Homo-oligomer: A and B are copies of this chain.
Amino acid sequence: MEVRKVLLSEDEMPRQWYNILADIKMNPPLGPDGQPVKPEMLAPVFPMNLIEQEVSTERWIDIPEGILQILKIWRPSPLVRALFLEKALDTPARIYYKNEGVSPPGSHKPNTAVAQAYYNKEFGIKKITTETGAGQWGSALSFACCQFGIECKVFMVRVSFDQKPYRKSMMEAWGGHCVASPSTETEAGRQALAKDPETPGSLGIAISEAIEAAVSDKSGTTRYSLGSVLNHVLLHQTIIGLEAKKQLEKIGEYPDVVIGCAGGGSNFAGLAFPFVLDKINGRDLEIYPVEPAACPTMTRAPFVYDHGDTARYTPLLPMHSLGHAFVPPPFHAGGLRYHGMAPTVSQLVTEGIISPKAVRQLEAYKAGVQFARTEGVIPAPETTHALAYVAQEARKAKEEGREKVILVNFSGHGLLDFAGYDKYFSGKLDNYALSDEQLAEAESAFADFPKPQHLKSR
């Protein structure tokens, strides 16, 4: 009988993260004066040890024992051969999914939440603020803060807060505090509400609120934490791809295609970056970040300098962006409702090293239901976007008659996301896509900003 799952023992867990900054050239983040941001300027927002990690160009960074100890609650995560899905798709491709849904909060997010809580604790921080879209990140940070005895405050994008009431309960189970964003607790939130009291909210607004809540705490022991986009966040996620590589090696496989959904970029990068390194070193493979057609930063928006948040608290980051003021439609993959894209992922797109794809909501749910009914595991709405593209690649493999090896990041389960599935089954799900007019309007947000250079890493 064929192997379903490839497991690693705790001893086989990677002891280092892979830092892609060692292998690509990046435009620097810019401050309000248009000059590169100095690390110390970020000190009110992040603890210094994480800022140092953010700017490090060391290729391999040791994972502290105190982090590994918590990760072992669920890591190494299984790599699973999707035999039943392959059969349903009638494809010669071999499909492997890295199941990040096995973590207590149900997604890949705790990989960095645990690391960030650890470093904040080391730095003497008592409270962390953050934003969350679908709730995966807020849950993960609540979980991680609980492990280290740190207070956790989460601003959750309103549309998801309303769609997924039990996400708040989950955060509370771990002792976290969650409010809907925009809230009346911050200046950024009050401004957003004044502009549109009915706003569904956005990650951009929620980030502004969380940063404001952190820097305005006069005790000096509160910091902000971001669940995606930044270099150190993506760094912590590379344990996914490093494990997957070991697991595939064990059974003599190497992927022809690597796929992950991408909102801010962290689950995609977590799986893909260790394979990007191979590609930079000459290996032949295709790497696809998959985004929603309703928020198509990589496939339709330009590579520009833009703020990471709506209230423009963050430095200007070099990234694919729909504009910091963009509020995506209320589709269900809340984790993909972000106006920008991680600078490192954006840089790889501009260089053609990775090839972004966009998928619409109905196609994504269709693939999600097929996955649930074959492989048994119910995917998060974000994850269904990656699965939709897996199905496309599997069909292509069939047309080409190729025994392709497809590796996909199963970023999380959908057990707290049934509102979207209910709508899908009742035929009431919208099939949003960005219009040209929306795109043109969105671009006005960064029209006056400096432009990043077109760098070539290889």
Contact = CB atoms under 8 A, between A and B. Distances in A.
A422 interface: yes
Contacts of A174: 372-373, 376
13 contacts: A4-B10, A4-B72, A73-B375, A73-B377, A104-B372, A143-B376, A166-B166, A170-B378, A170-B415, A173-B369, A173-B418, A174-B376, A415-B416
Residue of A3, A70, A175, A376 contacting most chain B CB atoms (<10 Å): A376
A1 B418 contact: no
Contacts of A421: 169, 172-173
A9 B4 CA distance: 10
Contacts of A104: 372, 376-378
A68 B425 CA distance: 31
B5 A72 contact: yes
Interface in A279-296: none
A106 interface: yes
B68 A1 contact: yes
A170 B173 CA distance: 22
Contacts of A418: 166, 169-170, 173
Interface in A45-94: 65, 68-70, 72-74, 80, 84
A175 B369 CA distance: 9
B422 A169 contact: yes
Nearest to A143: B376
Interface in A401-458: 414-416, 418, 421-422, 425
A121 to B, nearest CB: 15
B73 A4 contact: yes
A277 interface: no
A169 B65 CA distance: 40
Nearest to A415: B415
Given A102-B102, A173-B421, A146 B7 contact: no
Contacts of A415: 106, 166, 170, 415-416
A113 to B, nearest CB: 11
B372 A173 contact: yes
Interface size bucket, A side?
Answer: 35 or more
A228 B414 CA distance: 27
A70 B73 CA distance: 25
A421 to B, nearest CB: 6
A147 interface: yes
Nearest to A416: B415
Interface of A: 1, 3-5, 7, 9-10, 65, 68-70, 72-74, 80, 84, 102, 104, 106, 143, 146-147, 166, 169-170, 172-175, 369, 372-373, 375-378, 414-416, 418, 421-422, 425
A73 B377 CA distance: 9
B9 A378 contact: no
A3 B10 contact: yes
Nearest to A71: B4
A52 B209 CA distance: 64
A143 B84 CA distance: 14
A304 to B, nearest CB: 39
A342 to B, nearest CB: 27
Contact of A175 (B172, B373, B422): B373
A107 to B, nearest CB: 12
A175 to B, nearest CB: 6
Contacts of A68: 1
A127 B446 CA distance: 59
Contacts of A80: 73
A101 B106 CA distance: 12
A349 B147 CA distance: 39
Nearest to A11: B3
Contacts of A73: 4, 80, 375-377
Contacts of A4: 10, 69, 72-73
Contacts of A1: 65, 68-69
Top 6 closest pairs, chain A to chain B, by CB: A169-B418, A166-B418, A104-B376, A4-B72, A415-B415, A73-B376
Contacts of A375: 73
